[in-house]
Homo-oligomer: A and B are copies of this chain.
Amino acid sequence: MIDLDFLFNPGQIAIVGASKSPQKIGYAIVDNIVKSGYRGEIYPINPKEEEIAGHKAYPSVAEINKPVDLAVISVPVKHTIQVAEECGKAGVKGLIVITAGFKEVGREGLKLEQELISICRRYGMRMLGPNCVGIMDTHTPVNASFANGFPNKGNISLISQSGAMLVSILDWSFEMGMGFSRFISTGNKADLTEIDLIESCAADPNTDVILCYIEDITDGERFVEVCSEASKKKPIVILKSGISSAGAQAASSHTGALAGSNRAYEAAFRQSGVLRAETLNELFDLARAFSSQPLPDQSRVAVVTNAGGPGILATDAIEKYDLKMARFNKNTIDKLRGNLPQEANIYNPVDIIGDARDDRYRFALQTVLEDDNVDGAVVILCPAAVTEPEKTAHTIVELNKKYSDKPVMAVYIGGRVLAEGKNYLSENKVPSFTFPEPSISSLEGMVRYSGFIKEKEPVQPVELEDINRETVRKTIDQVLEDRRVVLLGHETSTVMSAYGIPVSKTYLATTEEEACEIGSKLGYPVALKISSPRIAHKTDVGGVAIGLHSDKEVKRAYRQIMDSVGYYLPDAPIYGIEVQDMVDEGVEVIVGMSRDVQFGPLVVFGLGGIYVNLLEDVSFRLASALDNYEEVKEMITETKAYTLLQGYRGKKAADIDALADSILRTARLVRDFDEITEMDINPVRVHTKGSTALDVKITIEEKEK
| Residues in chain B near residue A173, CB distance under 8 A | 415
Determine whether A464 belongs to the interface, using a CB cutoff of 8 Å to chain B: no
Q: What residue of chain B has the Cβ atom nearest to residue A281's Cβ?
A: B435
Determine whether A279 belongs to the interface, using a CB cutoff of 8 Å to chain B: yes
Determine whether A640 belongs to the interface, using a CB cutoff of 8 Å to chain B: yes
| Residues in chain B near residue A251, CB distance under 8 A | 312
For A205-224 the 0/1 string (1 means CB < 8 A from B) is 00000000101000000000
| Residues in chain B near residue A244, CB distance under 8 A | 315-316, 318-320
| Residues in chain B near residue A280, CB distance under 8 A | 313, 435-437
Determine whether A531 belongs to the interface, using a CB cutoff of 8 Å to chain B: no
Q: What residue of chain B has the Cβ atom nearest to residue A259's Cβ?
A: B312
Q: Chain B's nearest CB lies how many Å from the CB of A463?
A: 36
Say yes or no: A171-B649 contact (C-beta < 8 A), given A105-B343, A245-B319, A315-B244. Answer: no
A312 CA to B479 CA, complexed, in Å: 43
| Residues in chain B near residue A307, CB distance under 8 A | 162-165, 168
Say yes or no: A417-B171 contact (C-beta < 8 A), given A242-B312, A281-B435. Answer: yes
| Residues in chain B near residue A160, CB distance under 8 A | 309
Scan residues 157-178 of chain A and give those whose CB is less than 8 A from a CB of chain B: 160-165, 167-169, 171-176
Q: Is the interface on chain A under 10, 10 to 19, 20 to 34, or 35 or more residues?
A: 35 or more
| Residues in chain B near residue A640, CB distance under 8 A | 614-615
A160 CA to B308 CA, complexed, in Å: 12
For A98-117 the 0/1 string (1 means CB < 8 A from B) is 00000011000000000000
Say yes or no: A312-B241 contact (C-beta < 8 A), given A253-B345, A414-B168, A539-B649. Answer: yes
| Residues in chain B near residue A253, CB distance under 8 A | 345, 347
Q: Chain B's nearest CB lies how many Å from the CB of A75?
A: 17
| Interface of chain A, main secondary structure | helix
Say yes or no: A167-B617 contact (C-beta < 8 A), given A436-B280, A437-B281, A648-B610. Answer: no
A172 CA to B308 CA, complexed, in Å: 18
- Say yes or no: A384 contacts B164, CB within 8 Å: yes
A104 CA to B351 CA, complexed, in Å: 13
Determine whether A541 belongs to the interface, using a CB cutoff of 8 Å to chain B: yes
| Residues in chain B near residue A243, CB distance under 8 A | 316
- Say yes or no: A168 contacts B316, CB within 8 Å: no
Residues of A whose CB lies within 8 Å of any CB of B are 23, 25, 28, 104-105, 146, 148, 160-165, 167-169, 171-176, 213, 215, 239, 241-247, 249-251, 253-255, 278-281, 306-313, 315-320, 325, 343, 345, 347, 349, 351, 354, 382-385, 413-418, 434-438, 537, 539-541, 610, 614-615, 617, 640, 643-644, 648-650
Given contacts A167-B383, A247-B312, could you give 15 more A-B pairs where the C-beta distance is less than 8 Å? Answer: A28-B385, A164-B306, A164-B309, A165-B309, A242-B312, A244-B315, A246-B315, A246-B319, A246-B325, A250-B312, A250-B345, A280-B437, A614-B640, A614-B643, A615-B617
For this complex, 22 residue pairs linking A to B, each with C-beta atoms less than 8 Å apart, are A104-B343, A148-B385, A163-B307, A164-B354, A171-B414, A172-B434, A176-B415, A243-B316, A244-B316, A244-B318, A246-B318, A247-B313, A250-B308, A251-B312, A254-B312, A254-B351, A255-B308, A279-B313, A280-B436, A537-B649, A614-B644, A615-B617
